[in-house]
Amino acid sequence: MQPDLKLYDYWPYRDRPRIVWPGGARIACWVAPNIDFYELDPPANPYRKPWPRPYPDVSGYSVRDYGNRVGHERQMRLLDRFGIRGSVSLSAALCEHHPEIIAACAERDWEFFSHGIYNTRYTYGLSEEQERAMILDAMDSIEKHTGRRPAGYLAPALSHSEHTMDLFAEAGGVYTCDLFHDDQPTPVRVRGGQRFISIPYSLEMNDTIAYVVNRVEPRRYGGMLRDNFDRLYAEGETSGTVMCIPTHNYQVSCPHRLAALEQALAYITGHDGVWVATGREIAEYFLANYYDCAVADILRKQEAAGVNAA
C-alpha cells in the first residue's frame, strides 16, 4: 500500500489555460444514470460484504431491482423531455439480464460506459490478470450488445486496485469517473503513457450519496443540484467547467423524489451557454483541444514550484 498512487499532479484551480466548450458554452453538463445489476447470491469477497443482511437480503436486493422494473423508464422519459442523452454507468451483465433496457437507451443514442460486470463483484482481492479479464469482459460485452466499445470506466461499486487506471487505459479506455479531485477534466498518469483523463463525476451530486449516505430531503437534493450548477456556471466564464449528475434509477425515480430532479433539469437546461453532453463527448473534446496544453501547464507549474514531476 502507498500513501498516494500519484495518478495526477497538484494543479491549482487558478490561472489554468481557458477551456471553452463547443458553441462557446461555459459549462458541460452530463447526466450519468447508473444502471446496475446486483446479484441476490454473489460469491463472498474477502474485503467487502455485498449485502449487510444474510442471504437473501430481500430489502437490499429488491429495492435495486425496483430501479430496473420501475425506475429506469421514468428517468428515461424525464431525460427525453429535456433532450438529455444519458451516459450510462452500466453493469455489463445487464446486457444479458435486461437487454430491453439497453435497447431503449441505444435507440436514444445514449452513451454506455463500463461499471464492471455486476455491482456485487468487487475489484478487491483480484490478481492483476483477473482484474484485466474482468475489465475486458465488461468492455467486450458492452461492445457486443451496443455496437460501441466503452470509453469510460467507473469501477464496480467504486472498488479499485492500484492498477485499475493502468489496466483500463491498456484495454483502450479513455476516461475514468473514479476520481473526485477536480471540477474540470484532468490528465491521469497511467503506466503505459496513454492519453488518459479524468472526467468529473460527482460524489456530492450522486443521488445515492445524497439520499442514502447524507440522507437529504428530496427537495434539498434539487436545491443542491441548482446551487452546484449556479457556481460552476459562474466560474465557467473564466474557464469551462463540468457538472455531472450521477443517478440511480432506484433512488431518483421514486414517486416522492422525481420532481426534485425534474425541477433541477428544467433550471439547468433553461440557461444559455450550457453544453448538454455525454461523458465521452466531453472526454473527446478535452483530449482534442485541451489535453496537451493542460499537460504543459501542469509541468510548467510543477517546475515553477520546484516540484519534480513524477
Note the residues at the interface with another protein (CB under 8 A). Answer: 37, 39-41, 43, 45-47, 52-56, 58-59, 61-63, 65-66, 68-70, 72-74, 93, 96-101, 117-118, 121, 124-127, 130, 133-134, 137, 215, 217-219, 254-259
- The Cα–Cα gap between 278 and 264 comes to 18
Residue 131 or 281: which CB sits closer to another protein? 131
Q: CA angle, corner 169, sides to 46 and 292, nearest 5?
A: 140
- The Cα–Cα gap between 289 and 40 comes to 45
- The Cα–Cα gap between 81 and 127 comes to 44
- Which whole-number Å values give the CA distances from 293 to 187, 228, 286, in the listed order? 10, 27, 10
Residue 11 or 118: which CB sits closer to another protein? 118
- The Cα–Cα gap between 46 and 206 comes to 27
Task: Give the shortest CB-61-to-another protein separation in angstroms.
Answer: 8
Residue 41 or 230: which CB sits closer to another protein? 41
Task: Give the shortest CB-183-to-another protein separation in angstroms.
Answer: 28
Task: Give the shortest CB-230-to-another protein separation in angstroms.
Answer: 23
Residue 41 or 292: which CB sits closer to another protein? 41
Task: Give the shortest CB-275-to-another protein separation in angstroms.
Answer: 29
Residue 112 or 122: which CB sits closer to another protein? 122
Task: Give the shortest CB-135-to-another protein separation in angstroms.
Answer: 11
Residues 6+ apart with CB under 8 A from 160: 123, 178
Q: Is 256 helix (H, G, I), strand (E, B) or coil?
A: coil
Residues 6+ apart with CB under 8 A from 119: 36, 37, 38, 91, 156, 157
| CA dihedral (152, 156, 157, 163) positive or negative | negative
Task: Give the shortest CB-259-to-another protein separation in angstroms.
Answer: 5
Residue 131 or 183: which CB sits closer to another protein? 131
